[in-house]
Chain A
Amino acid sequence: MTAETTTAPAQDSSTVTTMPLAKAINAALRDELAADAKTLLIGEDIGALGGVFRVTDGLQSEFGTDRVIDSPLAESGIIGTSIGMAMRGYRPVAEIQFDGFVFPSYNQITTQLAKIHNRTDGAVTVPVTIRIPYGGHIGSIEHHSESPEALFAHTAGLRIITPSNPHDAYWMTRQAIVSDDPVIILEPKRRYWLKGEVDTANPAPDAFTAQVLREGTDATIATYGPLVPVALAAAEVAAENGRSLEVIDVRSISPLDDETIARSAAKTQHLVVAHEAPTFGGFGAEIAARVTERAYPRLQAPVLRVGGFHMPYPPSAQEHRYLPDIDRMLEAVERSFAYQRASV
């Protein structure tokens, strides 16, 4: 939770395994299915196929068709029936195949799932977890590369998290499933094959907190999900040029750990927020506003945003010009410094 903490797992145990992020989620699902007979998986093609990204590979043969349920091709049905099962005491983990296909279930998520605990004055809990592969850079066709986090962040009653590395993916998935609140896990699909160490005996920090992944003194980049490795690489490049960048993995969209981000921004006096989603009306604006309120006297420049443009996600042949990369993050850092120079 503090600026000194990092997510690097301890390495003194045989419980440490190097695996891709998708495998880490698979392990988390397997461990939760084994831990609680009430936990179920439901989604399209998650059984025999193991999901289009193989995240649920092998789970149906291990736990049976009753607990790893291949659903009809109907997203509202997946979420609506998950709500009904949760009302009866089950703990469904629903998979939405791609970000762009979540919208048929948007009504069930926002008017029902998010509100039922509040609507019933706490009498009914609906511990549904929704896994959504999100983000671009996979060269796919329309509706397969979107970042809808702001559309869910605006709905009270939902928790929204997004891991950026295998260890976090394992532990944040488990924490989401055991939470009695509805949790949306936005899985950075272009990082499914990113390998890292997972320590199944050493929990990652609370899923609903931000973490400082790299300490620095000149400026802070706060980002999440697929752009975390980009920000870390940008910090490497900056270091070669004599700039010390701090990198924060936001991890949780709702709740937002604005305290950790503001503390860093107050220290470095420069904050850049990056995400793949369009900046207009985007979640970066929420971070910018909150950090400004908390750290205003310490900031040397307005909080700057790096993100997608106010357009539908472009054909992937052009996505390299749409998605934030190292250069666009560093350009924003330099713009932030320019404000400082102008003011002296």
Chain B
Amino acid sequence: MAEAHAEQPAPIQLLDADGKLSHHPVYSTYIEQLDDAALRDLYRHMALERRFDAEATSLQRQGQLALWAPAQGQEAAQVGTIAALKPTDRVFPTYREHAMALYRGISAEELMATFRAVRHTGWDPNAYNFNNYAIVLASQTLHAAGWAMGINQDLRSGNLPRDKAADEIVLACLGDGASSQGDVHESMVFAASYQLPMLYFIQNNHWAISVPTSTQSPSPLANRATGYGFEGLRVDGNDVLASYAVAKHTAEQLRNGQGPKLIESVTYRMGAHTTADDPTKYRPSEEVEHWADRDPLTRYKTWLENESKATEEFFEQVEQEAAELAAELREAVQTMEPIDIERVFDTVYTEPHRQVQAEKAWLKDYEAGFAEEETS
């Protein structure tokens, strides 16, 4: 891992691992424009996600969730990026964008329906402008391109169906593993051909389950953009300020018609791929320790404290709020009701389908037979 890093250009960084802020001619402006409350809010969202994630992992260990995909370590990458977007910008996530989902207001109950397997998805994507999690990875990058084609179509027809859509952009999330999928290639081809307002956001967390990024690509993933004819940037994904500033600057360029673009966010998955996996089997503990020293929350907290942007009282409040969110999560998971299979029948098609109707009726009769036996 160390060798691979030596060959690759250093990611854009504003805040180093010790919490020291450096100046950048382009990106620092975006940080200077944030007031203290906004700066604190970035920390708050990261801390909420970290607590949420830990609670979910523990719930899975206790048998309360079918699966959980931890995002610990990726909080800055996700919070910094989503904070740079407008609510009208559509997000197409993978299945690990929990910090982004929470940021957009998706509730613990809505987010966890998938992982408790009581519903395939728990939220209406149009309510949050946040698509449902994609489990067949990379499929979402083409849906994102189609959505962006729709934006261009709306602009050409001058018939915007959505509020303030004129400067909408699309965030297409993917990871280092999914970057190898053919759908990502096709998506980038479409995005380049039709000059779509799309931001590809690759969280390179170094591991696709047990396979390192070097197997997906010996060269930085950001370099791929050049081949399609658009710009690719590398950012320190554990630096929330760089993540915010680079995403904000890039989003502005996209709003001015300079799309598409790609950001490779270099970060690290501190936990397992999912709770079904054992990372000690494939990665050395020294590597995990290396990244633990670059923790996104620790360095940002240090900076906020050193710059007197936040008081001890603020951090206590965040901790309290995080504990409440964890309690809400635990309560939601233990009380959520599964979807009824009759409802599953009803949504296979929008209009009646004779085989589905017949099978639904058959199951009802069949189960009613057992009910009669029980009562007789």
Contacts and interface: CB of A to CB of B under 8 A. Distances in A.
Interface of A: 37, 40, 66, 71-72, 74, 76-77, 79-90, 92, 104, 107-108, 111-112, 115, 117-125, 156-157, 159, 179-181, 208, 254-259
Given A66-B156, A84-B148, A123-B125, A117 B347 contact: yes
Of B132, B153, B159, chain A has the most CB atoms within 10 Å of the CB of: B153
Given A89-B150, A181-B349, A76 B343 contact: no
A325 to B, nearest CB: 31
Contacts of A119: 120-121, 132
Given A90-B153, A120-B121, A159-B353, A80 B347 contact: no
B119 interface: yes
Interface in B327-369: 339, 343-344, 346-351, 353-356
Nearest to B196: A81
Of A90, A107, A121, A159, chain B has the most CB atoms within 10 Å of the CB of: A121
Nearest to A286: B355
Tell me what chain B mostly uses at the interface: helix, strand, loop, or mixed.
helix
Contacts of B354: 255-259
Contact of A84 (B121, B149, B343, B348): B149
Contact of A107 (B139, B150, B355): B139
A80 B92 CA distance: 13
A83 B147 CA distance: 8
Given A72-B186, A77-B186, A120-B124, A87 B348 contact: no
Contacts of B147: 84-85, 87-88
Of B136, B146, B157, B190, chain A has the most CB atoms within 10 Å of the CB of: B146
A90 B186 contact: no
B218 interface: no
Given A80-B143, A87-B146, 7 more contacts: A71-B190, A77-B186, A81-B149, A83-B146, A84-B146, A120-B120, A123-B125
B142 interface: yes
Contacts of B121: 119-121
Given A85-B149, A111-B136, A123-B125, A254 B353 contact: yes
16 contacts: A40-B153, A76-B182, A81-B142, A84-B145, A85-B153, A88-B146, A88-B147, A90-B150, A115-B120, A117-B347, A118-B344, A120-B124, A120-B125, A159-B353, A255-B355, A255-B356
Nearest to B136: A111
A334 to B, nearest CB: 32
A77 B149 CA distance: 12
A80 B182 CA distance: 12
A84 B132 contact: no
A76 B185 CA distance: 10
B81 interface: no
Contact of B139 (A66, A82, A108, A121): A108
Contacts of B189: 72, 74, 77
A191 B144 CA distance: 37
B146 A82 contact: yes
B161 interface: yes
B29 interface: no
B264 to A, nearest CB: 22
B214 interface: no
Of B131, B154, B186, B193, chain A has the most CB atoms within 10 Å of the CB of: B186
B249 to A, nearest CB: 25
A237 B182 CA distance: 51
Given A90-B150, A121-B339, A159-B349, A80 B145 contact: yes
B156 A74 contact: no
Interface in B141-185: 141-151, 153-154, 156-157, 159, 161, 182-183
A125 B159 CA distance: 21
Nearest to B143: A84
B85 to A, nearest CB: 17
A127 B124 CA distance: 17
B157 A37 contact: yes
Contacts of B355: 254-256
B74 interface: no
Contacts of B126: 123-124
Contact of B124 (A80, A82, A123): A123
B146 A124 contact: no
A305 B28 CA distance: 72
Contacts of A81: 142-143, 145-146, 149, 190
A74 B132 CA distance: 24
Contacts of A92: 146
